[in-house]
């Protein structure tokens, strides 16, 4: 038997280790129902940057057995990912009776999966909470890639791979990219591999292998000391600069006012307590999207596309 959530509710699955940030972000959403990393809040979906995956309109299924649970889930749709926070053995037996979902690591720049993927969990032995529609195409919002462990100078490249995959947009030949806070060059390596011209800016040098790549121009300077007019028009502005979010916001606003950057992808890095007020100011910029990537740490990724 399917029992719809009444009134309407939404599930928010926190990224691993960031339950506190999500709970703080949803603070005024009403009473929260906690199921491990999954928070259920009353009402329709609301922006939640710290949610790795949002469960839309979850329903409760009363189940009589493992086979009955699987049958009910299959009657709704084919593909399901299990978030098991309790009753792990029972949950794994139910999931084993569902069609296998191949979640192979992507080979960048492959597209994200497009098949519908629902999420479910066991609330108790006889109750499944299930959402046929979720915000992420990846199980639990965890995008995984076949990693390159030799060419990039650090693992920061995975953040950019994930961001570009989720927005389904990438720089290409004939475009010009600006990479602020580029050293040692992980993001510049990603961008150069896609074909555009790359201007890399940092007070610290690039790794020699990255600096030697074709179409990479390095400028040894502070990202905050350069005026947009010093760089000129760019199709893409990228920033992985280590700074307080309020300082990054001033830099972003200066570029937006100049009209010289068409698309922007920036990392907000939090030092100490999470600055939710600064995050809200980024989210309020017109055309913005703010999200916590699977490869983010105590960070959020802000995107604004033309």
Contact (CB, 8 A) for 130 and 62:
no
Burial of 204 (0-12, 13-18, 19+ CB in 10 A): exposed
Residues designated catalytic: 269
pLDDT at position 46: 94
**C-alpha distance from residue 278 to each of 27, 71, 246 (Å):** 16, 46, 6
Contact (CB, 8 A) for 8 and 40:
no
Q: Are strands 197-202 and 216-220 parallel, antiparallel or unpaired?
A: parallel
Query: Number of helices and strands (H, E) in the chain?
Result: 9, 17
pLDDT at position 7: 62
Task: Name the DSSP class of 69.
Answer: H
3-state secondary structure of 95: helix
Contacts (Cβ under 8 Å, ≥6 apart) of 162: 143, 145, 293, 294, 295
pTM (two decimals): 0.94
Contacts (Cβ under 8 Å, ≥6 apart) of 28: none
pLDDT at position 8: 87
Helix (H) or strand (E) holding 89: helix 88-96
Burial of 59 (0-12, 13-18, 19+ CB in 10 A): middle
Residues of the chain where predicted confidence (pLDDT) is lower than 70: 1-7, 29
Residues composing the chain: 306
pLDDT at position 204: 97
pLDDT at position 3: 53
């Amino acid at each position: 038997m399917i029992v719809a959530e009444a009134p309407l509710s939404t599930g928010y699955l926190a990224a691993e280790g960031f339950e506190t940030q999500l709970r703080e972000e949803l603070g005024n959403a009403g009473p929260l129902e906690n199921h491990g990393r999954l928070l259920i809040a009353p009402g329709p979906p609301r922006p939640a940057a710290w949610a790795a995956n949002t469960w839309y309109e979850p329903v409760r299924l009363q189940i009589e057995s493992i086979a009955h649970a699987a049958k009910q889930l299959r009657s709704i749709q084919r593909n399901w990912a299990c978030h098991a926070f309790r009753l792990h053995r029972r949950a794994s037996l139910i999931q084993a009776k569902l069609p296998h979902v191949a979640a192979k690591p992507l080979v960048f720049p492959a597209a994200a999966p497009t098949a519908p993927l629902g999420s479910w969990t066991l609330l108790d032995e006889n109750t499944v909470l299930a959402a046929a529609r979720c915000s992420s195409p990846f199980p639990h919002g965890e995008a995984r890639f076949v990693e390159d462990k030799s060419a990039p100078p650090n693992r920061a490249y995975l953040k950019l791979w994930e961001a570009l995959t989720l927005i389904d947009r990438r720089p290409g030949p004939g475009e010009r990219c600006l990479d602020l806070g580029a050293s040692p060059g992980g993001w510049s390596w990603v961008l150069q591999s896609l074909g555009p011209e790359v201007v890399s800016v940092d007070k610290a040098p690039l790794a020699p292998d990255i600096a030697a790549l074709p179409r990479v121009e390095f400028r040894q300077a502070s990202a905050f000391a350069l005026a947009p007019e010093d760089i000129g028009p760019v199709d893409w502005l990228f920033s992985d600069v280590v700074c307080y979010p309020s300082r990054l916001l001033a830099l972003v606003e200066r570029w937006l006012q100049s009209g010289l950057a068409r698309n922007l992808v920036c990392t907000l890095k939090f030092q100490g307590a999470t600055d939710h007020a600064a995050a809200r100011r980024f989210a309020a910029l017109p055309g913005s999207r703010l999200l916590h990537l699977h490869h983010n740490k105590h960070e959020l990724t802000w995107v604004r596309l033309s």
